[in-house]
């Protein structure tokens, strides 16, 4: 019964958050069970473009390391802030949300190649947190019950926490940088004098993922209109 309740609750999570979180958990489980090796997942340009192992462009965003504190920490923040974005500023805009993932993933891959980074899931998490924090500037965040501060400080607090754990902060900085680029192009530049939206979601994504917009000139049939229905005429 507990598993059924958990599954039912998980199905209530928005689609993109549910799919990405499940992919991360399943990938880690497969590595833990030795069905996969991290060497089959990491980003390697030579293997991608010379050996056509194109799955590495995706799998390097799905692996956060073996089961342990670091994994649960990252997956918790991925789930929380991905869901808050999808249910908040991206509500009803699934195609735009997926396009944000694609934009961030492509830019991180290019910059990660220059920095010789092999796994970029933590950078994607930092990007999600950064975009949410800039769109929720007045929200106060309680950080593990130790500190309380405004949301825009959260990405930097996470970077400091990574430093305390002995991790490289280069991945966090990459995610923050890409998140800022997205936020500037999507939320800041279009509102400047002479500015405009430069990140336009492709139409095919909108057709695939978004519900069709209702025609404002559509007049429903009498039987489709709300209110009491009259009985059919007698023959």
Structure tokens belonging to residue 231: 């009985």
User: In the structure, how many helices (H) and strands (E) does the chain have?
Assistant: 10, 2
Residue 173: inside a domain, yes or no?
A: yes
Looking at residue 142, its pLDDT comes to: 87
Residue 99: inside a domain, yes or no?
A: yes
Residue 136: inside a domain, yes or no?
A: yes
* 200: CB partners within 8 A, 6+ apart: none
pLDDT tens-digit readout, 11-33 = 788 999 999 999 999 999 999 99
Looking at residue 88, its pLDDT comes to: 92
Residue 165: inside a domain, yes or no?
A: yes
pLDDT tens-digit readout, 134-153 = 999 999 988 877 788 899 99
Question: In the chain, how many domains are there?
Answer: 1
User: Which CATH number does the domain housing residue 189 bear?
Assistant: 1.20.1540.10
pLDDT over 50 (residue 77): yes
pLDDT band at 224 (very low <50, low <70, confident <90, very high): very low
Work out the angle at residue 113's Cα, subtended by the Cα atoms of residues 22 and 45, and round it to the nearest 5 degrees: 80
> What are the CA-CA distances from residue 127 to residues 101, 168, 172 (Å)?
9, 16, 8
Q: Which domain holds residue 34?
A: 10-206
pTM for the whole structure: 0.86
pLDDT over 90 (residue 169): no
Residue 67: inside a domain, yes or no?
A: yes
């Amino acid at each position: 019964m507990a598993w059924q309740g958990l599954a039912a609750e998980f199905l209530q999570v928005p689609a993109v958050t549910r799919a990405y979180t499940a992919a991360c958990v399943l990938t880690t489980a497969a590595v833990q069970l030795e069905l996969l090796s991290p060497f089959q997942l990491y980003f390697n340009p030579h293997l991608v473009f010379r050996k056509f192992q194109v799955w590495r462009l995706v799998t390097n965003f799905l692996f956060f390391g073996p089961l342990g504190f670091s994994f649960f920490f990252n997956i918790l923040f991925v789930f929380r802030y991905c869901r808050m974005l999808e249910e908040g500023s991206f509500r009803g805009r699934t195609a735009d949300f997926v396009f944000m993932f694609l934009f961030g993933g492509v830019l991180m891959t290019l910059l990660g190649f220059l920095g010789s980074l092999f796994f970029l899931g933590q950078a994607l998490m930092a990007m999600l947190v950064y975009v949410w924090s800039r769109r929720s500037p007045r929200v106060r965040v309680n950080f593990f019950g130790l500190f309380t501060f405004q949301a825009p400080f959260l990405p930097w607090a996470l970077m400091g926490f990574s430093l305390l754990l002995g991790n490289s902060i280069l991945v966090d900085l990459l995610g923050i940088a890409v998140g800022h680029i997205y936020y500037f192009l999507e939320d800041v530049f279009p509102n400047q004098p002479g500015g405009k939206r430069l990140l336009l979601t492709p139409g095919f994504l909108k057709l695939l993922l978004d519900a069709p917009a209702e025609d404002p000139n559509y007049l429903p049939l009498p039987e489709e209109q709300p209110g009491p229905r009259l009985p059919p005429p007698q023959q």
